[in-house]
Amino acid sequence: MNATPIRGATHAALITAPGSGHGKSLVTAALARLHRKAGRRVRVFKHGPDYLDPMVLEVASGAPVYQLHAWMTGEAECRWRLAEAAMEADLILVEGSMGLFDGEPSSADLAILAGLPALPIIDAAGMGQTFGAMAQGLANYHPELAIHEVIANRIGSPGHGRLLAGSMPEGLSLLGAIPRSDAMRIPDRHLGLVQAGELEGLDQQLDAAAEVLREAGLDRLPAAVTLEAERPAPPPRLLEGRRIAVARDAAFAFLYRANLDLLVAMGAELAFFSPLADAELPACDALWLPGGYPELHAARLAANVSMRAAIRAHHAAGKPILAECGGLMACAETLVDGDGQAHDMLGLLSGEAKMVGKLSALGLQSLTTDCGELRGHTYHHSTLTTEAVPWARSRRMAGSPGEAIYRQGSLTASYFHGYFPSAPALTAALFAGEPIHPASVED
C-alpha cells in the first residue's frame, strides 16, 4: 500500500536553549497552557528519548505528546507526525533536548529537517548585555537554522528586561522576558522531572505559569509554517487477537504513546494493570513491564505477594514477558533501594538490582536481529549483578557494545528501552513469543 501525501499550515516553533537548566521544559508547558486557554488547538512534541517531560506537556496541552528524533524515530516519522498535527492544530510546539546543538542528531537538526524556526530560551539571571551576544551566537552558528526571536528567563526586574532587549543585535528581537516565579518551577529527581501524576495542583500551577507568560508578552503566536510529509501505510496486523497486559502505575510509567499505538495498530488488545495495587494479572497472552521507579516503591511491590505469584505463574506457563529497565529490576531476585534496603522481587532473573547513586548508563542504542533493528535508548542509576549470560547486546550509536539483553525462558529483560515503531516485526515477535536471532554478543 502506498503512503499518502499530507500537508498542513500552522504556527510552530522548536523551543530550545543554550543548554540544560535554562527552563525550557516549564516554559514550553506554560506556552502550551497559555495558548490552550486562549482557545487554540495546541500540539506539543518532545525531541529525543524522554518519558517525563511529555507527561507534563500532555497535561498542559490537553493532547497526546509524541517523541521526535531523526535517528530513533526516523526522519520520515518526524515529518509525518508534524505534518499531520499541522492539519488540525493552531500551534505546534516542539520541546528540544539539552542545548540547541548538543547531541547527534541535535534539536537543531530536527528543526532544520522539519523546517521549524527555533525559539531559544536563555536564563538571563546574572547576565546583562552578554545576553545579546549569546543570542547572536545561537542564531549565526548554523546557516540553515532559522532563529528570529529569543526569550529571556528568570529576569530580576522590568529594568533588567529592558536592558536585555536593548542588547539584541540586528535581525533578532526579544519575544518576552519572564520574571523569576515559583510557578515556573517543578521538582525533579534522579531520572528527571517528578511524574505529572505525582504533582499535586499541577493544573493550577500551569494556569499560574501561563499567566506569568501572558504578563511577559508571550501570548503572541510564532511564525506560520507549512509542513509536508507522507503518511505511512498501516503496519501488518502481526498481533491480531493477542491480549497484552501492560503495567502502568507510579512504579511503571515509562511508556511511549507511539509504542502503545503500534501494538494496537498491529491488532493487540491492551489491558493495563498496577503491580502496586492489583492482586492479579488481567487475562493475557503476553506481559510488558516498562521502565519507571520500582526503587521508590520496592516495599509495596515486595508486599504484593499475590501479584508476584501471578507474574511468576505467567512466566512458568511460557507466556512472553518484556521487561525494560525498571521492569528488569523488578524481575531480579532482589532490589536494593537508594537507602540500602533490600526487597524481594520476582526472581525471574538471577541476581541483584541495586541503586548506586549516580548515572550508570546514558545514550541512544539499538538491537539488531533477523526481525529488524529496534532503536531506543538507555538511562539508569542502578546496576544488575547476575550470573545470567546475555542473549544479546544492544549497540551504541558509535558502534560499541551497549546494554546486556537477557532471555530466561519466555522473559526478555534489559536496561534498554525500545522504540517499537522502529522495528514492528521484532516487536511483534517479542510479544508473540516467536523465534528471534540477534547479532552475536561479540559482533
Tell me which residues are annotated as active site.
Answer: 325
Q: How far is CA 344 from the centre of its chain?
A: 29
How does DSSP assign 278-335, residue by residue?
-SSPPS-SEEEE-EE-GGGSHHHHHH-HHHHHHHHHHHHTT--EEEETHHHHHHEEEE
By the 8 A CB rule, do 66 and 53 touch? no
How does DSSP assign 209-263, residue by residue?
HHHHHHHTT--S---EEEEEEEEPPPPP-TTTT-EEEEE-SSSEEE--HHHHHHH
**Whole-number Cα distances in Å, 114 to 92, 111, 118, 176, 364:** 12, 5, 11, 25, 21
**Rounded-to-integer distance, Cα 330 and Cα 285, Å:** 20
How does DSSP assign 20-39, residue by residue?
TTSSHHHHHHHHHHHHHHTT
Q: Which three cell numbers stand for residue 82?
A: 508534524
Q: Which three cell numbers stand for residue 5?
A: 501525501
